[in-house]
Amino acid sequence: MSAAASPTVPPSPSGESPPSPLPEAEAVGAPTEAAPRRIGNVVLDVRDLRTYFFTYDGVVKALDGVGFSVRRGETLGLVGETGCGKSVTAFSITRLIADPPGRIMDGTILFKGANLLYGLDREASFKTIKGTNRVKVVRRFRRIRAAQDRMMAVRGGGISMIFQEPTSALNPIFSISDQISEALLLHRGEAITQGLLKATPTARGVEPAIQGMLKAARLNDGPALREATKKFAEAANLPSLGTQAYYILRNAYADPDVKLPEIRKALKRAQLGGFRRAFLRSELTRLSLQTELKQIYMSEMRNGRIERAKRSLSASRRLRHKLTHFYYGLWGVRGSVRKPLKEETLWQTVRLLEEVSIANPVQVARGYPHELSGGMLQRVMIAMALSSEPELLIADEPTTALDVTIQAQILELMRELKSRIGTAILLITHDLGVIAEVSDRVCVMYAGNIAEIAPVKELYRRPLHPYTQGLLNSIPRMDDPDKKLESIPGSVPNLIFPPAGCRFHPRCPHAMPVCREHRPPMTVEGDGHLVACYLYNGPVYKG
Ligand SMILES: Nc1ncnc2c1ncn2[C@@H]1O[C@H](COP(=O)(O)OP(=O)(O)OP(=O)(O)O)[C@@H](O)[C@H]1O
Ligand code: SF4
Ligand SMILES: [Mg+2]
């Protein structure tokens, strides 16, 4: 953020910190001060992140110097009271902050060494409106669009997100299968298209496999049917055919032979005529261009350079232009040529819904969001986020809407994903029980600042920050059933006029004069244990 944009604004009515829309001068030794870039096994490194909302009442400083990192394959829990900025942190990382009114003002977000905030300072300029708390933001939409394009390289396979509100994250006018299919085609389109082109529906082993499936269905033997459908899929070299055959035969125990025409129809979708094959090949070219673009975007964000990438981009655009002509040529028959892709993604969707323990996945896939309960919708969101097998999964209150048994299944699923593909997880919740269950480290947030970061056991055994202590005192403990539960007095402050110094001081039982004036630096108080509080005087954390 350029200092030139720094506005002057009148003091707040409360006489506390002036509502400057731009980053305040850092406290001495503040947690996010310049530190060497570490990549190594760190997947995500967030530094000095400041996200503000420019509202009619003034500038909401939702995040003010947030910094933490997530290592490969670890689960970092992010906790804090409602309104402390957990979701805004998640939206800032994925660059999904609604702009306007929001804007990331400053900071660095390194994802595998690529700065997701590359070019941020050129995206907008800021002017204060004299005599008010308001700020005029002049946005440069061309640059903002370019930044959004670059995020294409990261969203999906890189970073995926489970949103807090499934009802508002899903589109009510599209079926569940259409919405998951969109994510599948966007992030795994190349693999899906290649899979379809490589299918062998007329291979010699297919007929015996069909007979095997019918036999298992006649025996009313569920596990044997699963096994037989797997063999069928292997013979036809298309895994989704197995899922489809299973759901065709599952309830046909009395007379599975009547389902034979449906099986044959399923096989036909994998028999591609010349026209459909040509379409899929062109689709592959388009998708490989997209992959090329993603690599260019990643290198731009890694190296902070744009020149060479620009040349390649224009070459890609020329090619894409050619392809667009091909697609317009297909206008009348587009639905027909796309049919195999559509059916393939439908059955892949069914498999994904099975993975998140949905009992009737075919009906759910064909249904619409309003037909599902909150818990089912949440599982649909999870299936969508897992579909791209991301390197970092940001889960914003993933289990809040679920009952306890489903909660356990979902947490188990996330754990399995972590061990199978090494996904790192940023788990946002205010449920300290869930955090204790699945996190490796915990990051405690308060009013847009980080209060404490520690390994999970250490945090529960030795909470240092008065806010963390307050949070832990407010939950029941198995080892001390007679303990009186205490609440933290007061509530999260209005972030238009946040308290000066330590933002927790109005509620802190240990507040000292220095706490009201200066923001406490983050200090190291043990192995991986960091805390931002004047009660401790360990060495200042340098990153
Ligand atoms: N669009 C917006 N306009 C103005 N202020 C906003 C906007 N979105 C978020 N905020 C403010 O940012 C702050 C942090 O909100 P956030 O949604 O991140 O809280 P949270 O920690 O996720 O809470 P919860 O646990 O309830 O989900 C709040 O003070 C909120 O009022
Ligand atoms: S810095 Fe001061 S006000 Fe803030 S938590 Fe520590 S003791 Fe309390
Ligand atoms: Mg939230």
* 3-state SS string for 378-430: HHHHHHHHHCCCCCEEEEECCCCCCCHHHHHHHHHHHHHHHHHHCCEEEEECC
CA torsion sign for 352, 354, 359, 365 is positive
Note the pLDDT of residue 311. Answer: 57
Q: What is the pLDDT of residue 15?
A: 37
Tokens of 522: 């983050």
Pocket test for ligand 1, best of 84, 163, 164, 165 (most atoms within 8 A of CB): 84
The predicted pLDDT at position 326 comes to 55
Given a cut of 70, is residue 364 above it in pLDDT?
yes
Which residues are paired to 102 by β-bridges? 53
Name every protein residue with a CB atom under 6 angstroms from any ligand 1 atom: 53, 55, 60, 62, 80, 82-88, 98, 101-102, 164, 430, 495
Instruction: State the average pLDDT over residues 265-271.
Output: 90
Name the token pair of 487. 């609440």
- Whether 491 has a pLDDT exceeding 90, the answer reads no
pLDDT at 161 over 70: yes
Largest Cα–Cα distance in the chain? 83
CATH class of the domain at 1-167+394-543: alpha beta
Bridge partners, 394 (sequence order): 161, 426
pTM of the model: 0.84
Q: Which 8-state DSSP code applies to residue 155?
A: B
What backbone phi and psi angles, to 5 degrees, belong to 72? -55, 130
What the block records as the tokens of 204 is 């010699």
Cα of 455 to ligand 2 centre, how many Å?
21
| 490, 504 contact by CB (below 8 A) | no
Least confident segment among 278-282, 341-345, 516-520:
278-282
Q: How far is the CA of 499 from the centre of ligand 3 (A)?
A: 22
E strand or H helix that includes residue 523: strand 522-524
- In the numeric block, the tokens 């994802």 are attached to 111
Lowest mean pLDDT among 176-190, 235-249, 275-289: 275-289
Beta strand pairing status for 449-455 and 530-532?
antiparallel
pLDDT in tens, 399-410: 776 777 777 777
Tokens coding 496: 């238009």
Domain boundaries, the chain: 1-167+394-543, 200-268
Give the number of whichever ligand sits closest to the CA of residue 513.
Answer: 2
Instruction: Quote the ligand 2 centre to 91 CA distance (angstroms).
Output: 28
What b/e string do you get for 219-248 counting C-beta neighbours within 10 Å, with b at 16 or more?
A: eeeeeebeebbbbbbbbbbbbbbbbbbbbb
**C-alpha to C-alpha distance for 300 and 115, rounded to whole angstroms:** 9
Euclidean distance between CA atoms 530 and 464, whole angstroms: 9
Q: Regarding predicted confidence, which is higher, 356 or 266?
A: 266
Tell me the C-alpha distance between 139 and 133, whole Å: 19
Confidence band of 323 (pLDDT split at 50, 70, 90): low
* Residue 530: band (very low, low, confident or very high) from pLDDT cuts 50, 70, 90: very high
If pLDDT is split at 50, 70 and 90, which confidence band does 309 have? low
Looking at residue 401, its pLDDT comes to 64
Which ligand is located closest to the Cα atom of residue 470? 2
Q: From the alpha carbon of 80, which atom of ligand 1 is closest?
A: 21
CB neighbour burial string for 446-461, b if at least 16 within 10 angstroms, e if fewer: bbbbbbbbbbbebbbe
Structure letter (DSSP) for residue 239: H
Q: What's at 184, amino acid-wise?
A: L
Q: How are beta strands 392-396 and 58-71 bridged, if at all?
A: unpaired
Q: Which of 443, 436, 489, 432 is nearest to 465 (CA)?
A: 443
